[in-house]
């Protein structure tokens, strides 16, 4: 792992779970971790309920755009966290892969998306404590 660990969050549409995880880790890590997100089949826009619940934490996702998962992004990452994209993510030796089983926020109301966000936040805090013990 490099001196600044890099984490890649991957979900199918890159419009909900992976975007929330990336924003939360970026915020919590304060530059101690490089963070990216992508999707195996990116949507056109970020889920509006996701934008709303992230705004509650003063994290603005309104300008984010879902991004396509690339082999280069996986290769550059130290830790790859998948969230329901199955086998779409390429596997490289020496990478740490985690699969976070999370409810897909697509089609869900703000209350349900808030619960998903809070679950992701808990996992992000645990990951950060592993990657940067002094954070």
What pTM was estimated for this model as a whole? 0.93
Enumerate residues 6+ apart whose C-beta is below 8 A from 112: 103, 105
Q: Is the pLDDT of residue 21 over 70?
A: yes
DSSP-derived secondary structure letter, 68:
B
pLDDT tens digit sequence for 70-98: 999 999 999 999 997 665 667 777 889 99
Helices (H), 62-109: 71-76
State the pLDDT at residue 135. Answer: 60
Taking alpha carbons only, the member of 70, 74, 50 closest to residue 60 is: 50
Spatial distance between the Cα atoms of 78 and 91, rounded to a whole number of angstroms: 12
Name the pairing type of β-strands 6-11 and 79-82: parallel
């Amino acid at each position: 792992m490099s001196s600044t660990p890099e984490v890649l969050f991957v979900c199918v549409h890159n419009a909900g779970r992976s975007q929330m995880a990336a924003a939360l880790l970026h915020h919590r890590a304060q530059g101690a971790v490089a963070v990216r997100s992508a999707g195996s089949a990116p949507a056109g826009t970020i889920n509006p309920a996701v934008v709303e619940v992230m705004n509650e934490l003063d994290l603005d996702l309104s300008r984010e755009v879902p991004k396509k998962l690339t082999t280069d992004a996986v290769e550059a990452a130290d830790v790859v966290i998948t969230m329901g994209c199955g086998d779409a993510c390429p596997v490289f030796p020496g990478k740490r892969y985690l699969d976070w089983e999370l409810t897909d926020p697509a089609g869900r109301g703000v209350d349900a998306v808030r619960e998903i966000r809070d679950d992701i936040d808990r996992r992000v805090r645990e990951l950060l404590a592993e990657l940067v013990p002094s954070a």
